[in-house]
A and B are shown apart, each in its own frame.
Chain A
């Protein structure tokens, strides 16, 4: 049973470009959350998708957008990249009907984005 898988593992872009990161949730999970982890910092919540809709959002600009597909996989899109967007982007999946979060989140290994 595969866990949460993310692609690509590494990515290099230049300022102003757009990027798409992908996430496949753990089998049986229907909810996907995205986190940004800057170097030396803890992960920060970007947003969460459930039933193909954005359900919650953290303090990130509209340049950050996402999508969830019928098979529950998800994409994170970042437009007009800035140097400060360089970070590890983590995807986490869970099963919506489970009350509470944290213990029910499974994280992927992340995509390391470098913006030059």
Chain B
């Protein structure tokens, strides 16, 4: 069965410093992977999606993620954090031949001034 594991439940950074949110996946074949963000009282928003075309995926708001098959990882990064980045981030896998998403447990990102 496909699943994702988010390695940190909370991450705190200072504004202007890099962000790293870690995610490992479990899959017997090439998965479809995503990162979603959830701001308080707002719907989930797609940040980026992994396709087999490129291992480095660029998303919205300066975020990007790198698919590493050898490490079964799909970590989310941003060079410089902004206060508005404070939110809950979910690593997500879409099992093949289904329309459902399997979410990780989430990482809460705090950004301090």
A90 touches B99 (CB 8 A): no
Tell me whether A42 and B32 are in contact in the complex, defined as CB-CB below 8 angstroms, given that A102-B49, A103-B46 are known contacts.
no
Closest to A3 in B: B43
Pair A45/B94 contact, Cβ less than 8 Å: no
A43 touches B34 (CB 8 A): no
Assuming the A-B contacts A41-B106, A43-B44, A90-B44, are A105 and B101 also in contact, with contact meaning beta carbons closer than 8 angstroms in the complex?
yes
A33 and B104 contacting across the interface, CB-CB below 8 Å: no
Interface size class of chain B, counting residues whose CB lies under 8 Å from the partner chain:
20 to 34
In the complex the two chains form, is B102's CB within 8 Å of A102's CB? Answer: no
Judging by beta carbons under 8 Å apart, are B105 and A42 in contact?
yes
Q: Is B84 an interface residue (CB 8 A)?
A: no
In the bound complex, residues from chain A placing their C-beta under 8 Å from that of B49 are 102-103
Number of residues of chain A lying within 8 A (CB) of chain B: 28
* Chain B contacts for A102, CB-based, 8 A: 32, 34, 46, 49, 92, 94, 101
Cβ–Cβ contact B44 & A48, under 8 A: no
Interface set of B (CB-CB < 8 Å, partner A): 32, 34, 41-46, 49, 90, 92, 94, 98-106
**Other A-B pairs beyond A43-B103, A48-B99, A100-B32, 10, CB < 8 Å:** A3-B43, A4-B43, A40-B105, A42-B103, A45-B101, A55-B99, A102-B46, A103-B46, A105-B101, A107-B45
